[in-house]
Chains A and B, each alone.
Chain A
């Protein structure tokens, strides 16, 4: 039992997992399929060339512009968290496997841990901190409260942003569509039922 032959099982689980991520259905999912790498590992990191590693970048986040000088290899999630103190973006795996780092880039939900900050310059980036407007929570946030759609809350910003990117494009979605849109966001607490109820309820209000 303890010493198991992994190979077959691993292939199987990877296939079904990737299916769950919506890789095979690029048009219907909110996640950028190009980001879902077939193999575990760090994001594609450009070689560290001495003297060249620091670059100026300008990011547009939640409608505000930020000018920074950062190492070229740093991910968007990392920069948001450590440079801008926008810690609502969580990092659960740091390699495109869990969805905790989901942010919205030009209207699409993407894994912030697998985007290089330098590559998203000039694009509209939305994070969880930008959702509330004038001190009012976004209807999706309100629905997450009303439907108790979180437990530990660590996946929650990512779930909400995946849901928002989806609802921004899709009015009156079906349950199946909601589930597909959120299938790249793991919730280990298993709050899934409350999550899809919240997204469906918010869809009605938006």
Chain B
């Protein structure tokens, strides 16, 4: 089963949709299909009912957080300065990321094919985090979309029951985001190391003025 063929199939049947194949260079070579959010629901229904093979089973939904990543690289370009062509070094800044992504793994139980990996991306990580829910198409996505909402903060429009799943309702953070900072309860770390060591030292430093016996700590 070829992702290229599936892409052609979808494009022929869902007019106006924008698809992109995201290659995966690893040995498994599991390439994925980025779907635009506007047509995602139509594409999903087509994959379930009209495609060949029909992808009748959604086994897995998960989220990925791509924080903003800026890289700057020096590049030599030719420019015309004062009428003379010169080679000028320029710093080119590129930024990637700054979006949240949701990943669906689809299988065809009829034809024993799969997985086809669908991805959708939000516009940013702060406000515009709405994506269409695919639960109306694959019922099995319901709890997993709730989990993605809970841990990554992606809001699924059209989900029948979008509540937190693992954390409590009053909780306001999204712990699987890369910039999540967990509460400072590092008061007892017998064998701290690396990141934990830093947090523990910061915790003790904050406690120091309060405790008289500073040496014990």
Chain A partners chain B: no
Residues of B with Cβ closer than 8 Å to A?
Answer: none
